[in-house]
Every structure is written in structure tokens, then in C-alpha cells.
Structure 1
Amino acid sequence: MTAPTTTTYDQLKKKQSDLIRKALEGSIFIADHSADLPAALTSGADGKLLALPPGYEDVGWVDKGDGATWSRSVDTSEVDSWGAVEPTRTDITKQTDGLKFTAQETKRKTLELYEGLNLSGVTPDATTGEVRFDRPARPSTRYFRAFGLFVDGVGADAIYVAKLAPKATVTDTGEQKWSDGDDPVGYDVTLTAKYDDDAKTAMRFFFGGPGWKALLADMGFTAAPPAGG
């Protein structure tokens, strides 16, 4: 038997502060469910950000306190067995992903999300510019593609992180407060991700950018060799 090798904690530990990410700035893009799916986040050896397919609109400024809050909940079913002090089998029975944010800009897209309506057919009054619409007695369920993106670092150190819910629907809205305080009129919405037949998933994750590429080995990823290499 080989004798155990001794070491110290200083030799064992590996703490890398350059792997701590912060969402310095970001956006939430919403598109109709009929829009094309983003195929990738970046392109080229320099990891430049790719444009989104047509139809994705930035909801604009969102409340700083919550930013874009992504949630995930998992329900399980457990089997208890005679003589065992812990479950002998655990199965995942339900998994739910969500996105919550409070939009601060009043425009068609935020009104559609918050009110659960399709306003494409609403035409402002030709004389006054007034916009008017009603909530139907039984609103229909609308599905969207929700793409959240944040950037950390600049230039050659830029890192892009994104999440895509290819089929999301608004499942909750918060109260809307009208006052002359510091907070603007907001549109607090929660979207829940559903499995999408086109994407074959309910959630897709993207990590890229020149700063990300430079840290691949430190993060534990082995980069694929260049094509033709």
C-alpha cells in the first residue's frame, strides 16, 4: 500500500478571485414565441457578441434592487425503506424555472407583458395620439422567448452570460404603485419557463466573450482544438 502523501491547507486550497462574476450591466429581451432561437452568443476567435434574431426587444431599464432574478425550484418524490434511516430512492418530479423583473419604461412591450395582451392591433388616435385598450373577460395565454444577458468586464476582459427561456409565459404580476416618491411607475412581472419543442429544452445557458475564453482552463473547461487543427 502506498503511504499517504501529506500536505498543508495552503497547498490544497485553490481560491480564484478572477472567477467571481458580477452583472455590471444587463438587459432582458422579449420576443414573440414565433421568433427564431439564438443559435449562439458569440462568434469568432475574439469572442464578439452576436446580434439577436429579428423580433427581440429590450424591455429597457429595470429596477436595480432585483435586476433580473432567475429562480429554480425542484420537487422530489422519496422512497422510505424498512431499516433505512434515510430515503433509499429520490426522483425529481417537478422542475420550474422563472424570471422576475420590474420594468421601469412605459411602452408597448412592457404593457403587453404586464397586462397580458397583444397590442399589435391597437392604433393611437390620429388626432390626439391617445392609446386605449380593454382587458378581455378571459385573457388568452401568450408565450414569449425571454433572453437575459449581462456583461462583466470591458474590452479584452469582457464576459457575457445569458439565459434563454425559449417558451415563457407571464404567471404573476406585482402591484403597481402611483406616487411622487423616488420609485417610478413599474411593471413587476414573473415569467415561468415551459418546455419548448423547437429548442428541446425549457432553459438554455450561454457563456462567452474574450474574457471568458481566457479563463477556460482556470474554470475547469478544456477548449476544443481549432477547426482543421
Structure 2
Amino acid sequence: MPTATWDSLFDGRPELIRKMLFGSVFVKDYDPATSLATFSPFDATTGGLDATALGTGWTDLGYLDESGVEFTPTFTTADTMAWQLRLPGRTDVTADNESAKIVCLQSDPAVEALYYNKPLATAPTLGTSGYKITKDKTPNLIYRSALFIGVDGSGGSVQYAAKLYPMCLMTKPDKQSWQAKTENQFTMTLTPYWDSVAGFAIATWHDGPGWRAYATP
């Protein structure tokens, strides 16, 4: 019987350990007339970011705090037990989703529109005289599209990871503290929903010159 050592069997590749060193979060008001089914933030030829695709209606939320984006999955199941069994007879998925938590550091109209559930399209421009946001008597739920981009590496070895919520809601605005020691923060949780126009709830990509280099032995 042939024998082997652990060293000869182990196939770990340290170059596949990723860190999202930088990144951005882009948002726009959800438009059911514009399908994101074939949307991609990447140039099909080079694998780099597509400036045209990202410049069409998307707004960059700017600086986030050092925690970046925190994606939290929600996956629950229900077991069916039987008298004659001590293990589940069957298991069914009862919830399968995730949420994205961000902490915006910039106090600008786009961030505040997202935080206070106002349309991005009608947000005042930065520096507008008499700038004011009011809280409505009846809360509005405004659907958005959200795009998250993470960057690892640099130059010719740069790699990108991206995630798209074609239709989502800001479901949890967190507390704010006005004080001298801490910057004014806008902490929000975004929850994706099934988008019948795009045909999915979440899409994830990997691309970039560094990623494509793996295809070369």
C-alpha cells in the first residue's frame, strides 16, 4: 500500500488568502425599469473596474469606518423528528439571507438620505442653502440597489471582490453620538430582497488582473 506524508498531501495556497484592504459602497434608488440581471462592475476584457458601469446612477458613500462592511448571514433550518428516530428524519431551510452593516463617516446628502429613508434622486446638493431633512408622519420604505467592492493587492496583482444587492432596504439605522471625541457616524444595516426583475437577491464576483493570473499555470 503506498504511503504519503502530510506535506505531500497538503495543498494549501497562501496566495489565495484574501484581505479586503480598501473598498467602496455604491447605492442608488431602486428602478424596476432597469434590470441589473446582466450588470457587472468589471470590464470584460481587462477585469478592471468599469468606470462607465459604475458611473451610471451609482453614488459612492465615501469614507467608512475601519471595520469596512460586515456581512452577516441568516440561515435557519427546521428538523422533523420521529418516534423511531433519534436523528432528524428530514431538515428544511426556513430562512436564507444576509445583511450588510456599514458605518459611514461622511455627513453628506447621499448618506443622510439613505439613513433617513429619503430618495437619493431628490437629495439636495452639498452646500445647499437652507438644507433640511424632515421626518415623515408615516415612515417610508425606499428600496435601493447596493454595490459593495473590496480591493486586495495593487498594480498588476490587484484583485477585486464585489457583491450586489439589486433590491434592498435600509432596515436598521443605529444610534448617533454628537461629541468631541468621536466623529459623527451613520451606522446602517442593509437587507437584500428577491428582485424579480434581476432574477436574484445577491450576486458575488471575483475579478481583476491578479485573479485572472490564476488561470495561467
2:167 maps to which residue?
167
Deviation of 1:120 after TM superposition, in Å, equals: 4.6
> CA contact under 8 A between 1:151 and 1:158: conserved in structure 2?
yes
Q: Which runs of 5+ in 1 are unaligned?
A: 219-229
| 2:135 counterpart SS class | coil
2:153 is matched with 153
Cα–Cα, structure 1 residues 122 and 22, in superposed 2: closer, same or farther, change >3 Å? closer
Partner AA of 1:214 in structure 2: A
TM-score normalised by structure 2 residue count: 0.89
Q: Count matched residues.
A: 211
**Structure 2 CA distance for partners of 1:119 and 1:145, relative to 1, 3 Å:** closer
Quote the offset at 1:153 in angstroms. 1.0
Match for residue 60 of structure 2?
58
TM-score, length of structure 1 as denominator length:
0.85
Structure 1 pair 41–5 and aligned structure 2 pair: CA distance change class (3 A): farther
Matches of 2:63 and 2:91, distance apart in 1: 42
**In structure 1, what is the Cα distance between the partners aligned to 2:197 and 2:216?**
32
The Cα of 1:216 is off from its aligned counterpart by: 4.1
Aligned-partner Cα distance in 1 for 2:200–2:44: 26
Map 1:15-94 → 2, pairs under 5 A: 15-34=12-31, 37=36, 39-51=39-51, 52=54, 54-64=56-66, 66-94=67-95
Deviations 1:72-125 (A, max 9, x none): 11111111123322212111111121111110101111111111123654668x
Higher alpha-carbon deviation: 138-147 or 87-96: 87-96
Distance 1:92 1:214 in 2: 37
In structure 2, stretches of 5+ residues that fail to align are none
* Counterpart secondary structure, 2:26: strand
Look up the SS of the partner of 2:131 in the other structure: coil
Give the C-alpha shift of residue 48 in structure 1: 2.2
| Structure-to-structure mapping, 1:124-163, within 5 angstroms | 129-163=129-163
Q: Following the alignment from structure 1 to structure 2, what is the Cα–Cα distance between the partners of residues 27 and 76?
A: 33
Aligned partner of 1:110 in structure 2 is 111
Question: Percentage identity across aligned positions?
Answer: 29
Distance 1:122 1:200 in 2: 29
Counterpart amino acid of residue 26 in structure 1: G
Contact 2:113 2:123 in 1 (8 A): no
- Could you tell me which residue of structure 2 aligns to residue 11 of structure 1? 8
- Tell me if the contact between 1:41 and 1:207 (Cα under 8 Å) persists in the aligned partners: no
Q: Which runs of 4+ in 1 moved over 6 A?
A: none
Cα contact 1:144–1:168 (8 A) shared by 2: yes
Q: Which amino acid aligns with 1:207?
A: H
